[in-house]
Structure 1
Amino acid sequence: MARYAPAALVAALLVATALAFTYTEQLKLTPSPIFGTRVPAKTFSPVCRCDTDTVTIGFRLREADRLEIDIVRDGDVVRRLVRDRDVPRGGYVHVRWNGRDDAGRVVAEGPYRPRVRLERQRRTIVLPNPIVVDTTPPRVRLTRLAPRVFSPDGNGRGDRVVVGYRLDEPARVSLLVDGERAVRKKGQKTEGTIDWYGRRAGRSLPRGRYRLEVEAVDLAGNTSRPTPARTVVIRYVALGRDRIETRPGGRIAVLVLADAANVAWKLGARAGSAPPGTLRLRAPLRPGRFTLTVAVGEHRARAAVIVREPAP
């Protein structure tokens, strides 16, 4: 009998292997007891204090069962979300995970998976939807900002500032003007530019100095530190001086700064147009105080012109 023992053992192993193979093949042909799985956010940040600081997991059951749902990593349970929940046939299961373990601590960064245990069917299914925890904010830096003085008057000449940036990971960037969001860039490319036309909250800003910063929000919802602020100047039209003293009929010259092809000017009863640069005019023939107005569209700059008789 002893000499037949090895052969019997081999035969038993072959039968067990065949049965296991048959059972495995039957499982492959049997529809999964879970269907309609939904995990809308694949990456989230438990610390962002934003809409993506939790992740939701949803699915339906083909048959009634009692569930346990865990979050696992490398086979180890880090959080039990559901214990002994009865779900009817076709019932929808919806749970939420806040990225913390059973002790309430934020878990380490990396991929996790939901695991569902069906007690009545004695089956355990690890959902194929990885969930990535990311708590590291992106880093963004400016690569370009020009021009530093511009005129967003819609004439197609110097109407915008171009802000270049580079990121260390895909993220959505925004341009901040004096600390408020003015432009949100579409897409999540790691390098690009933002065009700013001197508008915020749908309105054109008046002339003046403004601080520009860029910040980024990554796929998980983490927000970067803003870049160091850079100052730009909105200038529609400006004069080199705001007070001019001369004699009656004397010649005056004033620097006009604008990006328009021509500016309109008015002094006393006279008016005309000229290109930007040094504007040369003759003063009024009588003494008095007059106003020189230089305009580009609806924007104006003014200087006082004081005409005095020469001292005897």
Structure 2
Amino acid sequence: MPLPSTGPRRLPRVRGPERRGGASVSRLPVAAFGALVLATVAAFFVTQHLKVSTPLISGDPKAIPATISPNETGCGSAFRSTRFSFYLLHRADDVDVYVVDQSGTIVRTLASGRHMTIRPPVRDFFPWNGRRDDGSLAPDGTYYYRIALLQQGRTITWTKTPVTVKSTPPRPVVTSVTPSLIPDRGIPPTISYRGNEGRRGTVRIYRTDLAAGWRLVASLPAPARPAARASWNGMIAGRPAPAGTYLAGLDVTDSACNTGHFPASIPPKPASTPHAGVTVRYLAAQPPLDPVSAGSTTLVYVDSRHRPYSWALQRTGVRRPAATGTGRGYALRVRVPAAAGAGLYELSLSSGAHQTTVPVIAGAHAGQRSASILVVLPALTWQGENPGDEDGDGLPDTLSAGGPIELQRPLANGLPVGFAGEAGLIAYLDRAHLPYDLTTDLGLIDGLGPALSGHRGVVLAGSERWLPSPLSSALRSYVQGGGHVLSLGIDSLRRGVTVQGGRALDPTQPQAADAFGARAGPVVTGSSELITEAKDGLGIFSHTSGALAGFRDYQPIASVAPPAQPIASAAGTSASTAAIAGYRLGGGTVVEVGLGGFGSSLAANIDSQELIGRLWAVLSSG
């Protein structure tokens, strides 16, 4: 065996394969470090993913109800506030809960630092009344809940089930009722509407022409889709609706229990319900309200809904008809008797179970001698208070409601309000053989029939509630020029109106003094006192008892304004309450009788008969 060398020690030569192994050994720490970095990064992203994707709350979190109206009153308090609830997963924590708007701005703090446990899981509730932190109402819109887990440093904005604040109710509108006049060949009216927000509603049918006010007469479901239409069968409580004026309303309740109404108020504002009306009519007539000459043929329009009808023409106060007949068409021609001269007639029509009666005014025939007294019937008042709906808005077109009105239209209720008193006067004049000519205020306005001139006296047979300025001035000039006027009616001669183009429009409010200057007080009702003579400078109470009984309603006349002279003749319940007043104006006289039902009383009240006889003598004097 050779001995070890005694020279310097040397490392053995490295062979080729051993060189390659040395390179692998030198790169191992680098690879290990890279793997560690990758693992760390992966762990970071996994952790972040778990933070984002791992649910932190559970329990079907949502607001109940999902839509609220803080001021809602229709459903009690059920929709005034909402409650959001949830429970925590994984670990207990302290939470803050906020309501935020769509921009992320905090609107209301519902909880701050509230501790929530997980063993056992406890559901916590967070109510919100739709108000901001300062107590003001949150605007209508969509809101979300933000939950902050304080110990975990985590925040969640819950957008899956938002809460909606909706305090504005729906604004439903009935857009049309077709047909608007029924019955119409059995076609039920279709009520179309919009603004129901895709929700079902209730159509309300109102009767609008009753003296006592509006009445709800029928309700029917209003479908949400596909077509916003409902149909009314024209029945009320199982029977055909009575003739009259009706309006189709609509109520819609939204998801927050806000209820919107059409019309928005009752009664509605003018012009707020176009095309929402329906008129029920079985039989109606439209007579001429200008006088027709006795012996001539007059044209009366009759709407019997295509059914046959019978008719009879009868002079007021006479039982036997002057003429009878039948018809079916719209135009009915009736001949007014000539022999009786000027007078008031009633045209009665009947079709099946339905009846109506309208006035026909006959002036003197061409060969008849003119009487010294002209009686004027208040046709403008008749139409001014006629509750027909000509424009289809479901509201009666009257001057009392502000007009305008058509002067040529059917009389919806037949004989007008107040007609009994006017007919009672004419019937008594016929029976007592007191001569008169006859016209209407519309005849004077239109220049048809007898005029004021040529008559010594004029009798306004009923309440002239509205007078156009030209006619009011003409009456005043007539008296100042030496004529005499007797006015029978309460609340008369105090309002103006414009008449043009077949319409009456722009009625005025009542004035303190009437067209002749008399100042009337409020109407007294339910009186049981006698009306007795207080003074008689004009002699209108001479040859009478000087007292009238049986008048429960009257309107006192306190004074008259210049140029009229002070009251010369008066009768009332006391010296200061003149229900009958006579005074001079220029060269003529005016007598105003403010007794309710005076014309009707002439049928049996001897005191009234004596007074009208004396007044006729005064009016006829030169």
> Which TM class, normalised by the smaller chain length?
0.5 to 0.7
CA-CA distance at 1:186 after TM superposition: 3.2
Matches within 5 A, 1:179-258: 186-188=222-224, 192-195=228-231, 207-209=243-245, 219-220=255-256, 221=258, 223=260, 226=264, 228-230=272-274, 232=277, 234-236=279-281, 237-241=283-287, 254-258=300-304
2:124 corresponds to 1:71: no
CA-CA distance at 1:72 after TM superposition: 2.8
For 1:8, what is the secondary structure of its paired residue? helix
Distance 1:92 1:283, change over 3 A: farther
| Bigger RCO of structures 1 and 2 (CA < 8 A, at least 6 apart) | 1
CA-CA distance at 1:132 after TM superposition: 2.6
Aligned AA for 2:100? V
Alignment equivalent of 1:300, drawn from 336, 341, 355 = 355
* Aligned position for 2:579: none
Matches within 5 A, 1:31-50: 34-37=58-61, 39-46=63-70
> How far apart, in 2, do the equivalents of 1:202 and 1:70 lie?
56
* Aligned position for 1:56: 82
Distance 1:18 1:217, change over 3 A: closer
Alignment equivalent of 1:111, drawn from 135, 142, 151 = 142
For 1:57, what is the secondary structure of its paired residue? strand
Residue 46 of structure 1 contacts residue 135 of structure 1 at CA under 8 Å; is this kept in 2?
A: yes
Q: Deviations along 1:169-216, whole A, 9 cap, x unmatched?
A: 656667675688876763556973455566799997654455667786
> How far apart, in 1, do the equivalents of 2:132 and 2:327 lie?
72
For structure 2, which runs of at least 5 residues remain unmatched after alignment?
Answer: 1-27, 209-213, 265-270, 313-319, 370-622
Alignment equivalent of 2:186, drawn from 145, 156, 162 = 156
CA-CA distance at 1:113 after TM superposition: 1.9
Percent identity, please: 21
> How far apart, in 2, do the equivalents of 1:22 and 1:211 lie?
64
For structure 1, which runs of at least 5 residues remain unmatched after alignment?
Answer: none
Distance 1:180 1:190, change over 3 A: farther
Aligned AA for 2:107? V
CA-CA distance at 1:106 after TM superposition: 3.0
Alignment equivalent of 1:14, drawn from 24, 42, 49 = 42
> How far apart, in 1, do the equivalents of 2:310 and 2:288 lie?
14
* Aligned position for 2:408: none
> How far apart, in 2, do the equivalents of 1:95 and 1:202 lie?
51
Residue 170 of structure 1 contacts residue 189 of structure 1 at CA under 8 Å; is this kept in 2?
A: yes
* Aligned position for 2:129: 98
Aligned AA for 2:331? T
Residue 66 of structure 2 contacts residue 82 of structure 2 at CA under 8 Å; is this kept in 1?
A: no
Residue 346 of structure 2 contacts residue 357 of structure 2 at CA under 8 Å; is this kept in 1?
A: yes
CA-CA distance at 1:251 after TM superposition: 7.8
TM-score, normalisation: structure 1: 0.61
RMSD value, Cα? 5.7
* Aligned position for 1:81: 110
Aligned AA for 1:35? G
> How far apart, in 2, do the equivalents of 1:18 and 1:86 lie?
27
Distance 1:197 1:81, change over 3 A: farther
Aligned AA for 2:36? A
> How far apart, in 2, do the equivalents of 1:117 and 1:180 lie?
57
Aligned AA for 2:228? G
Q: Which moved more, 1:110-119 or 1:135-144?
A: 135-144
Residue 166 of structure 1 contacts residue 190 of structure 1 at CA under 8 Å; is this kept in 2?
A: no
- Larger of the two Rg values belongs to structure: 2
> How far apart, in 2, do the equivalents of 1:89 and 1:80 lie?
26
> How far apart, in 2, do the equivalents of 1:277 and 1:58 lie?
69
CA-CA distance at 1:129 after TM superposition: 0.8
> How far apart, in 1, do the equivalents of 2:116 and 2:239 lie?
56
Q: Deviations along 1:88-130, whole A, 9 cap, x unmatched?
A: 9576655432222212233344322234567799876636212
> How far apart, in 1, do the equivalents of 2:84 and 2:324 lie?
73
Residue 242 of structure 1 contacts residue 303 of structure 1 at CA under 8 Å; is this kept in 2?
A: no
> How far apart, in 2, do the equivalents of 1:281 and 1:85 lie?
94
> How far apart, in 2, do the equivalents of 1:172 and 1:196 lie?
16
TM-score, normalisation: structure 2: 0.36
Alignment equivalent of 1:277, drawn from 327, 330, 336 = 330
CA-CA distance at 1:77 after TM superposition: 3.3
CA-CA distance at 1:2 after TM superposition: 10
> How far apart, in 2, do the equivalents of 1:131 and 1:247 lie?
78
Distance 1:255 1:214, change over 3 A: same
> How far apart, in 2, do the equivalents of 1:223 and 1:76 lie?
31
Alignment equivalent of 1:132, drawn from 137, 160, 164 = 164
> How far apart, in 2, do the equivalents of 1:168 and 1:135 lie?
15
For 1:103, what is the secondary structure of its paired residue? coil
Higher fraction of strand: 1
Distance 1:123 1:297, change over 3 A: farther
Residue 212 of structure 1 contacts residue 229 of structure 1 at CA under 8 Å; is this kept in 2?
A: no
For 1:11, what is the secondary structure of its paired residue? helix
Q: Which moved more, 1:15-24 or 1:75-84?
A: 15-24
> How far apart, in 1, do the equivalents of 2:111 and 2:294 lie?
92
How many residue pairs end up in the alignment? Answer: 302
CA-CA distance at 1:278 after TM superposition: 2.7
Residue 43 of structure 1 contacts residue 132 of structure 1 at CA under 8 Å; is this kept in 2?
A: yes
> How far apart, in 1, do the equivalents of 2:125 and 2:215 lie?
37
For 2:145, what is the secondary structure of its paired residue? strand
